[in-house]
Amino acid sequence: MDSINKVLPEAYRQFGIDEDIIKLSDEILSACSERFALIDKISEINQLKVLDAFRKNNVSEACLLGTSGYGYGDIGRDTLEKVYATVFKTEDALVRPQITCGTHALSLALSSNLLPGDELLSPVGKPYDTLEEVIGIRDSVGSLKEYGVTYRQVELLEGDRFDYEGIKNAVNEKTKLVTIQRSKGYQTRKSFSVKEIADLIKFVKEVKPSVKVMVDNCYGEFTDVCEPSEFGADMTVGSLIKNPGGGLAPIGGYIAGSKECIERASYRLTSPGLGREVGASLDVLKNLYQGLFLAPTVTASALKGAVFAAGIYEKLGFDCVPSFNGERNDIIQAVSFHDPQKLIAFCEAIQAASPVDSNVRPEPWDMPGYDSKVIMAAGTFVSGASIELSADGPLREPYAAYFQGGITWPHVKIGILNTVQALKNKGLI
C-alpha cells in the first residue's frame, strides 16, 4: 500500500500535474467520502432495477442479434423496448437507433402529440437552446410554430421555484402538452429533482386532467432511485449517448410513456400505417443492451466527477451549480468563469485529457441549433457522447463551462485536475 501511495502522485506528476494541485485534490477527496457513499448506494439500487428488468423480460442471446431492411419481427429491438418500459415503469417505450439524438427524441415526442391549434406550455422557463428552433421560438423550417402549434412559457420565481399561480393562469383550453426540462441546459439554475417534477405534474394534472406532460430527462437518468415517469409523466424522453447508453450505445434515443403517446410517436418516426413494426436494429443491439446494463455504474462515476469538480472549483473561488454540498439531480456541473479565456482554457484541457483526439484544440463555432458560438470538448469513443468525459459552453455571460460525464471515476478526476493545471499554467488562477 505504501508503494502505491508513492507511485500515484508520481504518475500524476508525469502527466503534468503539479504537487500543489495534487495536494488540493487530496484535500477535496477527503471531504467527498460521504457523498460518494450515497452515490454508490443509488447506483446499487438502480443496478438491481435494471437487472430485474432484464430478467423479467427474458433477455436472451438471440436479443443481441440485429436485423436489416424493414426489420420485421426484430425480437431484440422489441424486447429492449419492453426492458426500457420496465425500468421506467411505463406502459410502453420506443427505443430506436433511428432516433439520432436527444433533440430528435424530444422533437419526435412533441410533434407526434401536438396538432395544429394546440398549445405547448413550459412551466420551467426557457428550454434548452436546440429546442428553441423545434418549438419556433427561433424561426426554423419544420418547427411546431410553422405547423400551427402555439407556445408559451412561465418563468421561474426567485430561487428556481415554480410559479404555480402563473402556471394555473397560463393553462387554457388550447393547452395540450406541458414540457418539463429536468436539467439546467445552458442556464445556471439548479436542475429539478424527481420529487419537484412529481409535484409539478400533479399540480398541472389537477388544473387540467386531460393535459399531457412530457419530461426532458436528458442527463438525469439513474441519478436518483426513481424516474419522473413513475409520477404521472405521459412521456419521459432522453438520448442513448447520455446516461442510459452507459458509454456503449453508438446512437439512439428513447421515449417511455403511455401506449397512446408511444404509438403516435412510432407513426411519426416511421410512417402512418407502419409505426413501430419497421426499423431495423442493424448491429447495435448488443451495445444498447450492455450499455443500459452498465448505465447505473457509469452514471455514478459521472456523478462523483461532478461532486469533485464542484469541490475543486469552489475552493478556487468560482461559482458552481450545484454547489459541492448541493443536491444532485443530473450529471452536469456548471462552473461560471465570467471570462471567455478561462472557459476556453477549461474546455481545451478536457480535450487534452481525452482518450480520443487529445491533440485536437477545440474552438468556439456557430454550432447548428444554438444562438451563440459554442465551444465543445469531447474526445470520446462515441462522437459527442456526453456520458463520456466532456465539457461545453456558449460564449456569453456568465461564460460557464458545463462539465459532464466520465465512463470511469479515475478518468473524470484526471480530467478535472488537468483543467486546474491548464488554468494555472496560463496564469488564469
Number of domain units in the chain: 2
242, pLDDT greater than 90? yes
53 in any annotated domain: no
51 in any annotated domain: no
Given a contact cutoff of 8 angstroms between Cβ atoms, the answer to whether 378 and 356 are in contact is no
52 in any annotated domain: no
Given a contact cutoff of 8 angstroms between Cβ atoms, the answer to whether 295 and 222 are in contact is yes
Q: Of residues 290 and 5, which shows the higher confidence score?
A: 290
Confidence at residue 366, expressed as pLDDT on a 0 to 100 scale:
85
105, pLDDT greater than 80? yes
Q: What is the DSSP letter of 242?
A: S
Q: Do 185 and 281 reside in the same domain of the chain?
A: yes
| CATH number of residue 211's parent domain | 3.40.640.10
Mean per-residue pLDDT for 296-316? 97
Q: Do 201 and 108 reside in the same domain of the chain?
A: yes
Q: Do 224 and 304 reside in the same domain of the chain?
A: no
Q: Do 100 and 195 reside in the same domain of the chain?
A: yes
Q: Do 181 and 99 reside in the same domain of the chain?
A: yes
What does the pLDDT look like over 175-199, one tens digit per residue? 999 999 999 877 778 899 999 999 9
Q: Could you tell me the pLDDT band of residue 6, with boundaries at 50, 70 and 90?
A: confident
411 in any annotated domain: yes
Closest of 426, 427, 370, 409 to residue 25, by C-alpha = 409
| CATH number of residue 367's parent domain | 3.90.1150.60
- Using the Cα atoms of residue 217, residue 220, residue 224 and residue 225 in order, give the sign of their dihedral: positive
91, pLDDT greater than 90? yes
Q: Do 138 and 243 reside in the same domain of the chain?
A: yes
Given a contact cutoff of 8 angstroms between Cβ atoms, the answer to whether 106 and 77 are in contact is no
Supply the range of the domain harboring residue 305.
2-46+295-425
Q: Do 137 and 226 reside in the same domain of the chain?
A: yes
Given a contact cutoff of 8 angstroms between Cβ atoms, the answer to whether 95 and 63 are in contact is no
pTM: 0.95
Confidence at residue 2, expressed as pLDDT on a 0 to 100 scale:
64
Q: Which of 292, 320, 352 is the last residue of a domain?
A: 292
From the centroid of its chain, how far is CA 379? 17
- Amino acid letter for position 138: R
59 in any annotated domain: no
Closest of 65, 119, 104, 58 to residue 83, by C-alpha = 58
Q: Which of 260, 292, 324 is the last residue of a domain?
A: 292
Q: Do 152 and 285 reside in the same domain of the chain?
A: yes
Q: Could you tell me the pLDDT band of residue 369, with boundaries at 50, 70 and 90?
A: low
Locate cell 429491438: which residue?
Answer: 77
Confidence at residue 403, expressed as pLDDT on a 0 to 100 scale:
93
Q: Do 149 and 226 reside in the same domain of the chain?
A: yes
What does the pLDDT look like over 33-77, one tens digit per residue? 999 999 999 999 999 999 999 999 999 999 999 999 999 999 999
Q: Do 195 and 338 reside in the same domain of the chain?
A: no
Confidence at residue 162, expressed as pLDDT on a 0 to 100 scale:
97
User: How big is the chain by its Cα radius of gyration, in Å?
Assistant: 22
Q: Could you tell me the pLDDT band of residue 365, with boundaries at 50, 70 and 90?
A: confident
Q: What is the DSSP letter of 99?
A: S
Mean per-residue pLDDT for 232-246? 98
Confidence at residue 100, expressed as pLDDT on a 0 to 100 scale:
96
Q: How far apart are CA 148 and CA 136, in angstroms?
A: 10
Q: For residue 335, what are the β-bridge partners?
A: 320, 401
Q: Do 128 and 256 reside in the same domain of the chain?
A: yes
377 in any annotated domain: yes
Mean per-residue pLDDT for 67-92? 97
Q: Which of 292, 310, 339 is the last residue of a domain?
A: 292
Contacts of 34 (CB under 8 A, 6+ apart): none
What would the grid cell of residue 285 be?
A: 443491439
Q: Do 302 and 383 reside in the same domain of the chain?
A: yes
Q: How far apart are CA 392 and CA 193, in angstroms?
A: 23
Confidence at residue 187, expressed as pLDDT on a 0 to 100 scale:
78
36 in any annotated domain: yes
377, pLDDT greater than 80? yes
What would the grid cell of residue 125 be?
A: 422557463
Share of the chain above pLDDT 90, in %: 92
Q: Could you tell me the pLDDT band of residue 218, with boundaries at 50, 70 and 90?
A: very high
